Amino acid sequence: MHKKEHICGEIYCKTCKDFYEVGHLCFMLPVEGDKFTEYTLNDDMDTVDEDETKNQVYIFFDFECTQDDLVECEDGFKPERGTSKCKNCKKSKCGTYEHKPNLCVVQQVCLECLKEDLTPLSVCENCGKNELIFSGMNTTYDFCQWLFSGENNGATVICHNFKGYDSFPILQYLYQNGVLPKIVPSGAKKHVYRSPVMQHTYD
């Protein structure tokens, strides 16, 4: 039973656990204890720990990739009629072009510089350079070496296509280095995961 009385024209949202007008859209709740949410939504700013707020960093990134290298089995790719698989190895991956990151643009902000006019050259006294660029064939390695360095401990990392392709280079790097992150899947996609090494949260 819901404690609030029903009002005609309203529906109950199972995510928000409250009644709203028809057309209410929500997809996920704010992370409990998230400093960004507390800072932006809390009217009483005296309740926010200034040191914790100042140190909260958000990292946004995006990979760009090449698709120049054909993936083939030892016998070479030979299409099987009526399917997308290789006739020789029976695998659908054979005959595709491998995605290899060759550019990663990173922007990082803290709650001190979030509302400032940031540029590719701007530097925050608290979180450092606001934009970093990693490029070349070692893009994934260089980016992950920086990302998992001590300076980014506790950061929240956000990427627009993280539940799609952009999570795979990072997961591959972690697995190759013996790190098993906690993954929250959404079907076959990776939605959120936490790295036990540096306590990052990804979305």
The model's pLDDT over 135-178, given as tens digits with 9 standing for 90+, comes to 999 999 999 999 988 888 888 888 877 777 888 898 889 889 88
pLDDT in tens, 73-84: 988 888 888 888
Residue among 2, 118, 29 nearest 37 (CA): 29
> 3-state SS of the chain: helix, strand, coil percent to 5?
20, 30, 50
Overall pTM surpassing 0.75 (yes/no): no
Answer for the pair 111, 72: CB distance below 8 angstroms, yes or no: no
Tokens representing 119?
Answer: 């540029």
pLDDT band at 39 (very low <50, low <70, confident <90, very high): very low
Answer for the pair 132, 80: CB distance below 8 angstroms, yes or no: no
> 124-160 burial, b if ≥16 CB within 10 A, otherwise e?
beebeebbbebeeeebbebbbeebbeeebeebbbebe
Rg (CA), the chain: 22
